[in-house]
Structures are given as C-alpha cells and as structure tokens.
Structure 1
Amino acid sequence: MDPLSLFYYRYVFRNASARQLLDPEVFYDRHVFQDFEENYVPHMFKEICRQYLVRQNRTGKIEPAFDAIGKYWYDDPANKTSGEFDVVTQDPEGYAFYEAKFRKSPITQKMVDEEIAQVEATGLKCHRYGFFSRSGFEAGESDRTVFIDLPQMFG
C-alpha cells in the first residue's frame, strides 16, 4: 500500500466520526500526533533509507555496488536472542548492515558499538556498518562505518 493510502486508513478513515466532530488541530493532537511520531514516521523512515541506498547504488556512489537489498532478522531460542536489522545489502565483499534511527537525539558511540556487536554475534561477514539518523551523530566514523543524516539524504 502506498504511504498516502496507509496514512488515510490508519488515521482518517479509522477515526472518521471523531474527525467530523473535532477541530482539525484537536483531531490531529488526539488521534494522529503520537502514533505518527512514534510508529508511522519511523517505519516510513526505514523505507526512505532503503530507497536512498538504491538511488546511491544506481548512480555509482556506493562502492562496491550491491546486488541485493532487504532486511535481516534472526531468532535464536537457544541463546534467547533475537534481532532485526533495518536494511542489509549484499555485494561481492559480503554484507553491509544499515540501522535507521528516527530519534530526537543523536546516535551515540555506545549505540554504534552495540549495533556492531549485535551484527558480529550473527556470524555474518559484514564489511560495512551504516547508520541513518534524523538527529545527527555523537560518534566517530571509521573505515567500516558510514553515517548518513537528513541533510545528506535530502541535500
């Protein structure tokens, strides 16, 4: 489903009665704002990040160019661990894992280190770790990390 239809059915159609009774700003505050900020936009942000990577790949700005893109999740009941990685690409060198964070605060070095440790625990061959952030970074890039913020994506 396209984003506009998803928005309509999630917020407008579902709350049609309230929409007819309330001022538009009150309706937005009560029935849209919190879920939109905490669930809808972060989910859509992951898709925007995926599309950004595809565009960069097509124009030759990602080296090596990837052949496949998707997400990766795992469930390890024996060790009681599970996880999901927002965007994963595969190229001749292996995998690149990207995490998309639509947070009001910057991504910290601790968060970067935790994500890298989580990927390494899977045993997959990863040669690049990418991070997308709405609010920037309080972390240092390395030769294996890529940091992408909103101005870079839309600049």
Structure 2
Amino acid sequence: MKSALSIIFVLVVIVLSGYLYKKYRIAPKLNLKSLSVTDLSGSEVKISDIDSELVVLNFWATWCGPCRQELPILNEIVNEFKDKDVTFIMVSDEDLVRQNRFLSGKDLAMTFYKLNGKLPELGVHTIPTVYFLDKNKDVIKTKVNGIDWHSEELIEWMNSKVSK
C-alpha cells in the first residue's frame, strides 16, 4: 500500500511540475495580429497596423524587478537598431496613469502601451515575456523571464530578420 501511495505521489508531483513549467516558463502560443493596445496618450492601436519587418513585443510591468532592470539595456538595443526596420513595443496591463508616472523623466526609445485587458487573460503568467513578430505579425520567437539583450547570437538573429 505504501509503495502504491508513493508511486501516486511521485506521479502527481511530475504532472504538477510539468504543468507549472509550461504555465510559467513557456510563452503561450498567441495570435497577436488582432491584439489591440492603447498608447500612453489614450489612442487605440492594433498590433497588425504596426508597419515593421520585425516587432519586438515585450510584456512587462512597472513593479517587475527584472523588467525594470532590463529597460536601460533594452534601450541600448533599441538605439542600436534605430536605423533598421525594427519596432520595440512594451505592453503592460497597468493603467496609463501608473505607466506615465513611472516613465516620467526617463529617456527611453521604445513605445509603451496598455493592454486592453489583463495579461493572465491572454495566458501570459510570467513577465517579462517577449514575442518577436515578423512583418506579417506572426510569432517567430519567444522568450520568458528575461533576455540577454547583448547576446551576439540574438543580435545576429535580429539582424537576419531585417533588410540591411
């Protein structure tokens, strides 16, 4: 009897571990083409309307330590790609007042938006979560829980997705 209970316990732990790993460490498959967001002045924008060969969409929050830490580094990368057809957007489900207050006085080159809804409703349970979208706004790469933005491999990959 004890061995049967032990086996059941181990199986439950394995299943639960797999579920939690998938929920918090793997970016959910999303169709972001129809996603609507609101810019910091209150105008609605559809992701599909962003005209760019590569869109880097970063789900973030003002209270998220790793998100805040990566902002200056990400800003360097944005400036590195400023002459290429790459658009960097930051999407939070926090209200516009909170985002504007947080961003006040910061010289950041990326564009910030409010999600029209909540991140968990999309299936995004971990931030930062980054989606790389091609010119058709199809997801071509994802990363959960931060990126080494200075990685040579990432920079080369991003360069390979845009015209010279």
Same fold (TM over 0.5): no
Is the strand fraction higher in 1 or 2?
A: 1
Is the helix fraction higher in 1 or 2?
A: 1
